[in-house]
Structure 1
């Protein structure tokens, strides 16, 4: 098995080329475009800002942090508990598929190419469905990658994936999408700095329209994305 890869591994793991299928999901953004909530750069930035700071981005960050700590401590029971909570918190069938399909694919790919003894020792604790932020937290913790840089990279990659979805849905172009990513960076950094102080009791979100949109997306007439 290779030596721990360090923070350099995050460039590969969170790249669009890493085989987790992130391109197939929009986290209800496709429905928001259909409903007219997102019509351009400003509305996309507002929508993503809420999703990250007040919705699943914040919750995923908290779950990632606790999985990272469990991995660093070699605590398989704590890791399994965090994963069970993460899977249960998915507000719809599509969003559960989004996190679990990506989580399982991510863990499988990292174990195939970037495995270390700490990862192999803890992976059996995650039987069945694996939430994506938990898988990332486990891998980063097992490789000894600092939590702070992992959170920043994960949250910005999450925002970038949704901006990519918006570009493909055509309410904005690539240049506008790049500006939105740049606008998200300070918010991501601020959230990443806050998350390590939060407990599992701080989990929660206030993005009700996006959550309801994920239900409506299930029966949307035309769809490019799985969520």
Structure 2
């Protein structure tokens, strides 16, 4: 039956409650490329991989990023975000402090540590300034180390009662989007190829998010040795566009 123009729309037709709509709005804002955490300044070692000839086109970039997502930084960061969110939401300050410390120590290179801590600091500062939440100040105080990016997202999303599952999916989408953006500028690739890459990596992002949500801290680990070496060798690269 057709609705009249002035007939109120029921919740079954809108699909989102007020709290769900607020959470979606915040996730789209926090993890948008326009949210000023400086992500555009970092390539996570992709710049060295392009110079070394490991990445030469869209296909090789897709393989590289799929590995980073499923077997490297993508999965590990997803696990850290999930564990942070759960510890913060349950009020387990001991576990939260342990997760924050482990995540800070888990960076495989100096540049990777700079990348994730700088983005984490910027994310926290902007969230506190624009999305003030008293619980967030207490959660930050529990973490006595430099807060890395996935932990920062976990803290802010938990403080605002944003559901964990969509937060992890949105976070990994934002991470891979930034990687593709860096690769597009370095290879270089056109906008259409970049969007095709995002489409092709969708199942990898989804599967990695699902794994991260099911994983424990015991499941942390990386097998992307070439990507780790790329991050380390980028520091001594003669010409650089990116900070990592």
TM range (shorter): over 0.9
Tell me how far apart the structure 1 counterparts of residues 100 and 140 of structure 2 sit (CA, whole Å).
Answer: 12
Q: String of CA shifts for 1:134-185, please: whole Å, max 9, x gaps.
A: 0001111111111110111000110000110111113321110110011111
Structure 1 portions without partners, runs of 5+: none
Question: What are the equivalent positions in structure 2 for 1:118-137 lying under 5 Å apart?
Answer: 118-137=135-154
Structure 2 portions without partners, runs of 5+: 1-18
Q: String of CA shifts for 1:90-125, please: whole Å, max 9, x gaps.
A: 010000001100001101110111122221221211
Q: Where does structure 1 differ by over 3 angstroms across 4 or more consecutive aligned residues?
A: none
- Count of residue pairs brought into register by the alignment: 225
CA RMSD of aligned residues (A): 1.4
Greater Cα radius of gyration, structure 1 or 2: 2
Tell me how far apart the structure 2 counterparts of residues 108 and 79 of structure 1 sit (CA, whole Å).
Answer: 19
Tell me how far apart the structure 1 counterparts of residues 174 and 157 of structure 2 sit (CA, whole Å).
Answer: 15
Question: What are the equivalent positions in structure 2 for 1:12-31 lying under 5 Å apart?
Answer: 12-31=29-48
Does 2:101 align with 1:84? yes
TM-score (norm 1): 0.95
Tell me how far apart the structure 2 counterparts of residues 143 and 170 of structure 1 sit (CA, whole Å).
Answer: 39
- Residues 94-103 or 76-85, more deviating: 76-85
Shift of residue 194, structure 1, vs aligned partner = 2.1
Secondary structure of 2:29's partner?
helix
TM-score (norm 2): 0.89
Does 2:240 align with 1:223? yes
